[in-house]
Structure 1
Amino acid sequence: MPAAVAVTVLLWASAFIGVRAAGHDYAPGALALGRQVAGSLGLTAIVAVRWWRSGARPVLPRGRVLAAVLAWGVGWFSLYNLALNAAEQHLDAGTTALLVNVAPVLVAVLAGVLLGEGFPRRLLLGMAAAFAGVAIIAAATSSGERDALGVALGLAAAALYAGAATSQKRLLARVDAPTMTWVGCLAGTVALMPFAPTLAAQGASAPASSTWAVVLLGLGPTAVAFTTWGYALTRLSAGRAAATTYLVPPIVVLLSWLVLSEVPAPVVFAGGALCLAGVAVATLPRRRPLPGAHGVH
């Protein structure tokens, strides 16, 4: 399970680098659709391999469960990406990151109320510390570019993220993670089809590097990362799983430094350390004293 979390946060962090690489040549809707097409193809390959290895067809959801999975897919894979991509047109990277990272807090609240997970003290303290770390990173990377529409779009993206993560936790009791991710991704792809003409036009003139960035966004952060996220979510509470995503901002800073040669301000390292400490407090199990261990007498 720790491996699934690690793969998820690393690939989701890499998505920010990929979006920056492709965003100059693809509009938000075209970028979202291209990413989803690549992700759908990658997930179809994963499901086909599982089908071939097991010798049994995947068990597809039906009825109300299928409708819920389709709605989840449209919400997270389509509407969330559109809101996030549009927000980044109005906000600087730091402000966008801060607004989107309201989502794990919302997940904890929704899971506590709707899923009966309650509000464990360690989870709340850890998330508060991690969010403070994100705020430090956001302040250090903010250029001051923001407007009301961008803020509204950023908060809408956070709300879509939170609603999708919470509903996914409930649905995973009825459908396995790979199948849910596959069906949801296909639904998101269909919902984004109105942007197909824009994708075709911009794809014809975009440099190969940007197009490959779109493809890799679909294969890595979408196909693989959402599959590993679903696997982790079946084994963690929704609140604890969401708390692990506070590792994404410091990893983005590190990748930007290594890949884009963007040297972070020293205070960013303090924010990253606070994120790491917060995630550790929120997610690591509390140590239980050994039987009979009451100290030295």
Structure 2
Amino acid sequence: MTISNTTDTRSDQQWPALAAAAVTVLLWASAFVSIRSAGDAYSPGALALGRLLTGTLALGAISLIRRVGLPARAAWPGIISSGVLWFGLYMVALNWGEQQVDAGTAAMVVNIGPILIALLSSKLLGEGLPRPLLAGMAVSFGGAVVVGLSMSGSGGSSVLGVLLCVLAAVSYATGVVSQKPALGHAGALQVTTFGCLIGTVACLPFTGALVSEAADAPLSATLNVVYLGLFPTALAFTTWAFALARTTAGKMGSTTYVVPALVVLMSWLFLDEVPGLLTLAGGALCLAGVGVSRRRPRPAPTTVVAVSQPTTAPREEPSPTD
């Protein structure tokens, strides 16, 4: 009997996706700081258009250099849906919502997005809802609520602002679930480039506001718009698509719960906003929940058993007395 154990290499194969997801959440966290800096000089629509236009130009140049062609026809429904809903509507709604409510309330409401992603991907993509994902998302959402409550100001919320944040969460979740099938027919760079282009076209009605506001905006605000387009949009959305193509939408959505914890840290480092103990505890819960959601049961080693063939007994010769 021969017994051999085969090691599971899936964890090694997931490292590129995890690295790409880490780049995404780090840059998206930095976007909140830049949006806050640019939001005083740019209106929500103009800020979204300026960000998307910068991202489209950068991605278009990279696509031309790498000679990336048009996506396959089967990828276009997902690209158009994610471009309109996620690149376009989400950014405008989020920018507008954050001007109507305090940052804590916005963080709590927008963070229903990953929960919606898990539910939609289970229903529409058949991904299922494994227990570690549900448990981790519950812990992370609790952490996001703690962060939001600790950062909420009194009287700083409005019904309109809450509704805009809900709209941002729904459009974000729907856009992600729409993007997932498109990645089965086109590459991450293709899906991101043309999705960003679709979002830019959807935001063209804000062209007049962008032109007039850019003429009066301070250089620092305009540089923040350029940064938002190059890094949290062009780079981070591409690394997101790369990671999403290699894992489930539910797991990728849960990964974004790292963002509130990173925003707290970056606000502390760059804006001198010292977080309280409750905020730090909420950030720690967000990180712990992401860790739980990414776990999977350790697979049992595969055992191969080689069974030796039975030997044929020698045929007995009849005795002379038979």
Displacement of 1:65 = 3.7
How many residues are aligned here?
Answer: 286
Separation in 2, partners of 1:118, 1:147: 36
State the match for 2:32 in structure 1: 16
Please state if 1:107 is matched with 2:117: yes
Render the CA deviation track for 1:213-256: whole Å, top value 9, x for unaligned.
00000000000000000000011111001100000000000000
State the match for 1:226 in structure 2: 237
State the match for 1:93 in structure 2: 103
Separation in 2, partners of 1:241, 1:50: 27
Separation in 1, partners of 2:93, 2:66: 33
1:108-147, aligned counterparts within 5 Å?
108-144=118-154, 145-147=156-158
TM-score of the aligned structures, taking structure 2 as reference length: 0.86
> What letter is aligned with 2:139?
A
Separation in 1, partners of 2:264, 2:65: 35
Compute the RMSD of aligned alpha carbons.
1.4
1:1-297, aligned counterparts within 5 Å?
1-51=17-67, 57-62=68-73, 65-144=75-154, 145-288=156-299
State the match for 2:309 in structure 1: none
State the match for 2:306 in structure 1: none
SS of structure 2 residue aligned to 1:89: helix
Separation in 2, partners of 1:20, 1:243: 24
The structure carrying a bigger helix percent of its residues is 1
Separation in 1, partners of 2:110, 2:301: 41
Render the CA deviation track for 1:4-39: whole Å, top value 9, x for unaligned.
011000000000001011000001111000001111
SS of structure 2 residue aligned to 1:88: helix
Query: Unaligned 5+ residue runs, structure 1?
Result: 52-56, 293-297
* Contact kept in structure 1, 2:81 and 2:179, CA below 8 Å: no
Displacement of 1:68 = 3.8
Between stretches 40-49 and 245-254, larger displacement belongs to 40-49
Larger-gyration structure (1/2): 2
TM-score of the aligned structures, taking structure 1 as reference length: 0.93
Between stretches 3-12 and 278-287, larger displacement belongs to 278-287
Separation in 2, partners of 1:259, 1:3: 24
Separation in 2, partners of 1:291, 1:166: 34
> What letter is aligned with 1:110?
L
> What letter is aligned with 2:44?
P
* Contact kept in structure 1, 2:261 and 2:283, CA below 8 Å: yes
> What letter is aligned with 2:25?
V
SS of structure 1 residue aligned to 2:291: helix
* Structure 1 pair 148–43 and aligned structure 2 pair: CA distance change class (3 A): same
Render the CA deviation track for 1:140-170: whole Å, top value 9, x for unaligned.
0000311111111111110001101111112
* Structure 1 pair 169–67 and aligned structure 2 pair: CA distance change class (3 A): closer
Separation in 2, partners of 1:121, 1:70: 32
Greater than 4 Å deviation, 4+ residue runs: 289-292
Identity %: 50
Query: Unaligned 5+ residue runs, structure 2?
Result: 1-16, 304-322
Displacement of 1:67 = 4.2
Render the CA deviation track for 1:126-152: whole Å, top value 9, x for unaligned.
000000000100000000311111111
SS of structure 1 residue aligned to 2:66: helix
Separation in 1, partners of 2:81, 2:143: 33
Separation in 2, partners of 1:138, 1:123: 22
Displacement of 1:71 = 2.8
> What letter is aligned with 1:80?
Y
Separation in 2, partners of 1:50, 1:89: 39
Between stretches 108-117 and 67-76, larger displacement belongs to 67-76
Separation in 2, partners of 1:276, 1:170: 28
Displacement of 1:45 = 2.1
